[in-house]
Amino acid sequence: MSPGGRFCEDVAESRMAFADTDVATSTADLRASPFRKAAAGLIGNPGLPPNSNVHDLLECPVCMNLMCPPIHQCPNGHTLCSSCKVRVHNCCPTCRNELGNIRCLALEKVAESLDLPCRYQIYGCQDIFPYYSKLKHEKICNYRPYSCPYAGAECSVTGDIQFLMMHLKNDHKVDLHDGSTFNHRYVKSNPQEVENATWMLTIFNCFGRQFCLHFEAFHIGTAPVYMSFLRFMGDDDEAKQFTYSLEVSGSGRKLLWQGIPRSIRDSHRNVRDSQDGLIIQRNLALFFSGGNRQELKLKVAGRIWKEH
């Protein structure tokens, strides 16, 4: 057996375990799409093997999803999708030969000639596109899943809003509140020693929608600051229907911010780095905290309302 042969055998035996929705349309989406009609129309074409159909030809043998260009093949003609080529370490899972960099151009032409459903059909998108238009659409599809808005850790979970709410509650143990007004106190001992910190995310449910309140410490240049901002759990066009205000006060002084919540389509880091929120310099935050200024005790009051 050639070096790596055992690995290829393992890949061939376990290929059903792979799934990749990033580069291929799932077979479940295919069954409900016009693709089946196109495939049926091509059955019996003299250029195709007997007793075959386009579905079989375009099905990746590793992840079992529909292959889209680039489609790779080994010297013996066995094909697989570009994502699985990386996963099997350039070793054909069917014949165990080295894959190399051979493209199956004929099969790519077949794939490009078909109208395909949006990959987010499972979330509700019913649009059908030619292959390359499909790729462009999927980058901006309103039905594409959202990323988890939790900022305290790198979380790779994605899903619709209902799923993310369950995830935030069960896995991140976030604070959930009903109502459009709030009063939050953020406390930290020895704040001078804190260079970067993220406080627990708080979710507000109002107007039948959900909003994420963020609060964290970081630096703008060399200046230590605290920042609070709101993100909307939905798309940007919906977020623009709402306005929010944040306020900190103490020692007879007040600092107020008013703005439009950013969609969670914008990452927490993008919003923070754009400084689109209430920013308080550390010295001023400690002044608002009162006392000996050795402990952060900052009260942030806020309100969310819907523009008519």
Do 146-306 and 54-140 have the same topology in CATH?
no
pLDDT (0 to 100) of residue 252: 82
**pLDDT for res 7:** 39
DSSP secondary structure letter of residue 60: -
Question: Quick one: which H or E segment has residue 7?
Answer: helix 5-13
The token duo for 46 is: 């003299």
Tokens representing 40 are 């049926």
SS3 185: strand
Secondary structure letter of residue 154 according to DSSP:
-
Burial label, 68 (beta-carbon count in 10 A; 0-12, 13-18, 19+)? buried
- Quick count: other Cβ atoms within 10 Å of Cβ 275? 12
**Does CATH place domain 146-306 in 3.30.1540.10?**
no
Cα distance between residue 234 and residue 231, in whole Å: 9
Long-range contacts from 85-90, C-beta under 8 angstroms, 24+ separation: 87/11, 87/18, 87/62, 88/8, 88/11, 88/62, 89/4, 89/7
Alpha-carbon span 98 to 119, nearest angstrom: 30
Beta-carbon-side half-sphere exposure of residue 23 (alpha carbons within 13 Å):
21
Name the token pair of 103.
């493209």
| Residues 54-140, CATH architecture | 2-Layer Sandwich (3.30)
CA dihedral 225, 231, 237, 241 (to 10 degrees): -100
**What tokens does 205 get?**
């449910």
Residues 6+ apart with CB under 8 A from 96: 2, 5, 8, 9, 12
Would you state the structure tokens that stand for residue 34, as one six-digit string? 């016009």
The Cα-based distances of 274 to 86, 186, 239, 257 in angstroms read 36, 22, 17, 15
Tell me the C-alpha distance between 269 and 198, whole Å: 12
Q: Omega before 70 cis (within 30°)?
A: yes
Check if the beta carbon of residue 174 is closer than 8 Å to that of residue 184. Answer: no
Domain ranges of the chain: 54-140, 146-306
- pLDDT confidence of residue 100: 87
Partners of residue 191 on adjacent β-strands: none
Positive or negative, the Cα torsion across 73, 79, 82, 86? negative
- pLDDT tens digits in sequence order for the chain, 308 residues long: 444 444 344 433 333 333 333 333 333 333 333 333 333 333 333 343 433 467 678 889 998 877 888 999 999 999 999 889 988 988 999 999 988 899 999 988 888 888 888 888 888 899 998 877 887 898 899 899 999 999 877 789 999 999 999 999 999 999 999 999 999 888 888 777 777 888 889 999 999 999 999 999 999 988 999 999 999 999 999 999 999 999 998 878 899 999 999 999 999 899 999 999 999 998 888 888 876 767 888 899 999 999 87
